[in-house]
Structure 1
């Protein structure tokens, strides 16, 4: 278990212009999948730019415990020798995923199609997160969750299916994790496994499955949805992966550069997958000066460099259907909205209540603690800015949540008074070099 028992408070204060070129850490979603797909391929997969945060390291240890060989060759440079689809071995011990929600849910899917028994656990925060939505389709495919005292929460044991059944499954919410778990289980099933989404969620799993040689067809379904069909029992071939910069991590320096007067920052090699750039779309609607430079295609994904200049922002209405493409970025968007002129309404944020913390309530509490006018209306977050710097001066409870901590440190960089977060320890789960990288641009973080 990850016991972060010594909280590390951190403070951000008003900074002079942020300047420079940076490369944000590798994308977390792709890093988890690179390790998993490498483990399911026959032969050696090389991965460059892997995010070496705690969440991804937990996934690397899990695939190793399941029989793959994982070797770190240098910074961000890894190799995975896989065991093939359906080849996972029964691990000797419980797989401890720490705080990694993506890691645990995707691995549950990959294990569900193998005739093995695997125990899953995580830290106190991960133990609170719902697993039932993943277990429901996996049970339909023949896996069995050996219910623990906690019902559908960790710790729990999954017995994979001896003869997995291909299913057609309509996801109850737009969730790349549910979709990916079903498709990963479907790798071991004969015939076609289909996932139907009413709202398209991020499509890294489909892109990487294709990159590794699986047959996947993704078609439009309804107004905003997708129907994804996988042909089961492929032999996955090793394929090199270059992990692009994580747009969810890029969100923090992007918003900081927009808010701190006189700033100009270039972020190199950021993924611009259309299903991940809801934040950039929204910030541009608010008047943000974000320029796309040198768009290119690498390892199955679209990437580009982004030039961001300090901008005057105005409030906007953010439609609910944009939520899947920016679900992790609403916290830092709310910070940007605090400096905009007028009201920003972010609609349909129910999913934020079941993340690392209840992010909806925690974001509103943090804004109020720093003198920002905001309210929660149903599943909407409304932030009212007056076009000036936020007052600041508050201390924010981070609830063991890395994105809350980083979002409110960004608030402090442009606020009138310093902003303190009660614990910055968890930033290491996704962005270990956050403080160092921001200081390199000129941010006042102590």
Structure 2
């Protein structure tokens, strides 16, 4: 448990956040099934990403951790074995709390010549896996839920011939899209995934860099399509992982809710499929500026944030929904905290996906903000936040969800009295040094 008080002074300074979690996961997976070595700098050494490393080591991939002699920068080196180079694991592949590891790896394992089992912690064993099982089985895979509940543990039978499909995902999900595209690398014929809106496209960007024939386009019906032509071998590359915008979001929020604050968050990934929080908060009146923008491959920039009095415009209401949701799904808990401090009503809709994350984030956010004095109500696909009511300290339940722990650390900075966050250690799932970095600004 960690106890936090209202910020006694403005937050000022420079902040560096850890590497992007989505890109870090993919760099290990794609490097493992590529020919030659992949060198990764900026890798996020969090519990989730270390689970990915552990799984691929169990399948015979050598992954080294070293320091670059010239400047002491940590380097992860993946010694890839090509698309057909994985070995059968001796034990069940354990993915910890990582939905990305579980779902994306299922796409790769669906095409292997060996049988294997995948499971994770108690949270993973409750999260829906049928969203990847269904399209992968349509491709010819044989994936079953060992408990018959469409959740982990999963059994994947080997030796199956996969065929490319045109799959229309009912939700915009990078994990679903990526699992199908990774299986498509091994399939006979093209694989196309259609989504209602373009989800984060790190898989398409990175697979292109590794040598795959893949691209995005807008379909005739307006949906987003990712198209993969198989048959191209993957080759190892060098990857510099930018800072994770999902981690930067907590410092963006902290600067916005603590009067007089000004923070510069350096080297953050600002991919257009991930930067919804910047665009949406800008519409609410947030003073956020991108500096030193680099748009090569994965766009990155320094983010300058100044304290701002946020509002909903002339009618005092602000809505977040539609195509903005996939671009900020992981940031919605901390956006709710910001909304609680804003001088307006904020409606978050089209975000039912929050109910099947590491926790039920809709109910958990509402429960915790209510405990702090916020006027908030849950809806089936989001929440309605009546902002501007003073917050006070409370005991926060994290439900072992890293994003709740960090979001309510920000809320504590704007609340009178003491806020106690139960099981703050879960922040290590994505940001091991978060509380240390936050304390350095107080």
Within 2, Cα distance between the matches of 1:65 and 1:193? 28
1:305 to 298, 302, 306: 302
Within 1, Cα distance between the matches of 2:35 and 2:366? 48
Equivalent positions of 1:232-381 (< 5 A) are: 232-298=230-296, 300-315=297-312, 316-381=318-383
SS of 1:108's partner is: helix
Matched, 1:169 2:171: no
Equivalent positions of 1:383-394 (< 5 A) are: 383-386=385-388, 390-394=390-394
Structure 2 runs not aligned, ≥5 long: 68-72, 313-317
User: Does the 8 Å contact 2:408/2:421 carry over to 1?
Assistant: yes
User: Does the 8 Å contact 1:259/1:310 carry over to 2?
Assistant: yes
Q: Equivalent residue for 1:435?
A: 435
Within 2, Cα distance between the matches of 1:379 and 1:254? 25
2:60 to 63, 67, 72: 67
Shift in alpha-carbon separation, 1:128–1:411, aligned structure 2, 3 A: same
Q: Equivalent residue for 1:40?
A: 33
User: Does the 8 Å contact 1:198/1:222 carry over to 2?
Assistant: no
Cα RMSD for the two superposed structures: 1.4
User: Does the 8 Å contact 2:391/2:414 carry over to 1?
Assistant: no
Deviation at 1:222, TM superposition (A): 5.2
Within 2, Cα distance between the matches of 1:143 and 1:86? 16
Within 2, Cα distance between the matches of 1:381 and 1:160? 43
Q: Equivalent residue for 1:144?
A: 142
2:223 to 225, 232, 239: 225
Q: Equivalent residue for 2:70?
A: none
Deviation at 1:223, TM superposition (A): 6.6
User: Does the 8 Å contact 1:142/1:161 carry over to 2?
Assistant: no
Equivalent positions of 1:2-13 (< 5 A) are: 8-13=1-6
Encode CA deviations 1:54-77: one digit per residue, 9 max, x unaligned: 000000111111222101113642
Encode CA deviations 1:110-132: one digit per residue, 9 max, x unaligned: 11111211111111111111111
Shift in alpha-carbon separation, 1:102–1:199, aligned structure 2, 3 A: same
Structure 1 runs of 4+ with >6 Å offset: none
What is the count of residue pairs matched by the alignment? 432
Within 1, Cα distance between the matches of 2:157 and 2:217? 32
Q: Equivalent residue for 1:117?
A: 115
Within 2, Cα distance between the matches of 1:95 and 1:337? 40
1:154 to 134, 152, 161: 152
Equivalent positions of 1:21-60 (< 5 A) are: 21-60=14-53
Shift in alpha-carbon separation, 1:76–1:107, aligned structure 2, 3 A: farther
User: Does the 8 Å contact 2:21/2:49 carry over to 1?
Assistant: yes
TM-score (norm 1): 0.94
Within 2, Cα distance between the matches of 1:306 and 1:21? 10
Deviation at 1:45, TM superposition (A): 0.4
Matched, 1:198 2:171: no
Within 2, Cα distance between the matches of 1:433 and 1:272? 22
Deviation at 1:41, TM superposition (A): 0.6
Within 2, Cα distance between the matches of 1:138 and 1:377? 32
SS of 2:271's partner is: coil
SS of 2:255's partner is: helix
TM-score (norm 2): 0.95
Structure 1 runs not aligned, ≥5 long: 1-7
SS of 2:26's partner is: helix
Q: Equivalent residue for 1:135?
A: 133
Within 2, Cα distance between the matches of 1:165 and 1:15? 60
Within 2, Cα distance between the matches of 1:146 and 1:380? 31
